[in-house]
Amino acid sequence: MDRRTFFRKSIGTSIAVGSYMAFGKYTDLIAAAPITYDLVAVKGGTPDVMFDKGIEALGGIGAYVKKGQKVVIKPNIGWDVPPERAANTNPLLVSTIIKRCLDAGAKEVYVFDHTCDTWNRCYKNSGIESAAKSAGAKIASGNFEIYYHDITIPGGKTLTSAKEHELVLDSDVFINVPVLKHHSGSTLTCAMKNLMGNVWDRKFWHRTDLHQCIADFATFRKPHLNVVDAYMVMKTNGPRGVSTEDVVAMKSLLISADIVAVDAAAAKLLGNNPNDIRHIQLAAEMKVGRKDLDKLNIKRITV
């Protein structure tokens, strides 16, 4: 965050907090404070139902989204393939989250991704553009450098600077909504890897040290919420997939504010040991979050 952004943000926050103190109900603030679970895992339902059940266990969306806030939702829209290929986040999940944010009084909700395949085709064919628009969100492009601004990553070892999308920089609430998939380079792609879509130059990551850069970037901004779509999961040939045969039905959803924990749990779902995924290991070492699932307070819900 540069100085100007900092000032702008702090002024904005002060006004928001100030007016809240003056006019808002104090009980809301208090009710929002305690988060009882480190991770919520839901299974057996459709993405919309699972999200509602899961977020309820975390105190409702109101614990994360306040009236008048600007929310940015970052699904994975990386590939020009239809929803049944599960290479992109489930459109129903995206639209459900948008609706809940707007219900909670969000001023505006934005959806974007820096796609791999041609962006407008990805937006359209993933089904996310139409789902997001009809749910009331604004769709923005992530494939133009002019929307990206320099950031420094003080906690990064290899990745110490990058250019991040202005929507994320200016957001009050950032919700990371990855889809869990096999990945031919990083073994799996989930919450931390999904944040690659926030930055402009990804070739540096690939060229230098992919896992370390993923972990480094996770130190910069922890999403307020990570919602992992594991409804349909690409088990092989990820991250783009070749056919629907790569996809298995897991009918699951994970929610956590801890990006490392949610990735560790997702790795288990995919049949991997979290300790074998280097970026999970590195991020845990760098204290971005916790991968010791057995010590976490996990709420398990079957719909």
Partner 1 sequence: MSLFTLGKLKKLRVVVSLILFIPVSFLFLDPWNSIPPQASNFLVSLQIIPSFQKILVYSGVTIAGLFFVLALTLAFGRVYCSTICPLGTLQDLIIRVSKKFQKRKRYQYKKPHYALHYWIFTAVTASSVAGSMALMNLLEPFSNFGRILTNAVDPIFLLGYNTVASLLVRLQVYALYNIPVRDFSLVPLLPSLLFLAVVAYMSYKHGRLFCNTLCPAGAFLGLASRLSLFKIAIDENTCTECGACEKVCKANCIESSTKRIDYGSCVNCFNCISSCPTEGVVYRNVFSKKHAINHDLVNQPRRKFVGALALPLLGILAPAFKPADTTRAAGSGYDDNRLRPITPPGSKSVRHFSSLCTACHLCVSACPTQVLYPSFLEYGLTGVFQPRMNYSSSYCNYDCNLCSQICPSGAILPVDAPAKKEIQIGKANFVKEDCVVVTNKKDCAACSEHCPTKAVHTVPYEGKLLIPQLDNDICVGCGACEHSCPTTPRKAIYVSPNPVHLQAKKPKVEKSKDVFDSKQDFPF
Q: What tokens were used for 63?
A: 């614990």
Strands 298-302 and 39-43: parallel
Pick the closest to residue 303 from 77, 42, 128, 114 (CA basis). 42
Segment 186-225, which members bind partner 1 (CB under 8 A)?
186-187, 202-204, 206-212
Q: Which amino acid is at 112?
A: F
The window from 17-25, 27-35, 59-67, 115-123 that contacts partner 1 (CB under 8 A) reads: 115-123
Q: CB 245 → partner 1: shortest distance, Å?
A: 5
The window from 15-23, 90-98, 134-142, 220-228 that contacts partner 1 (CB under 8 A) reads: 134-142
Q: CB 19 → partner 1: shortest distance, Å?
A: 21
- Taking a C-beta distance cutoff of 8 angstroms, is the pair 108, 71 a contact? yes
The window from 18-26, 27-35, 94-102, 237-245 that contacts partner 1 (CB under 8 A) reads: 237-245
Examine residue 121 and tell whether it contacts partner 1 (CB under 8 A).
Answer: yes
CA distance 231 to 303: 13
Rounded to whole angstroms, the maximal C-alpha distance in the chain is: 57
CA distance 134 to 98: 10
Of the candidate residues 5, 46, 130, 141, the single one contacting partner 1 (CB under 8 A)? 141
Strands 225-234 and 247-256: antiparallel
Examine residue 28 and tell whether it contacts partner 1 (CB under 8 A).
Answer: no
CA-based R_g, the chain, Å: 18
Residues that bind partner 1 (CB under 8 A): 41, 43-44, 80-81, 108, 110, 116-118, 120-121, 125, 138-141, 143-144, 146-147, 183-187, 202-204, 206-212, 234-237, 239-240, 242-243, 245-252, 264-265, 268-271, 276, 278, 293-294, 298, 300, 302
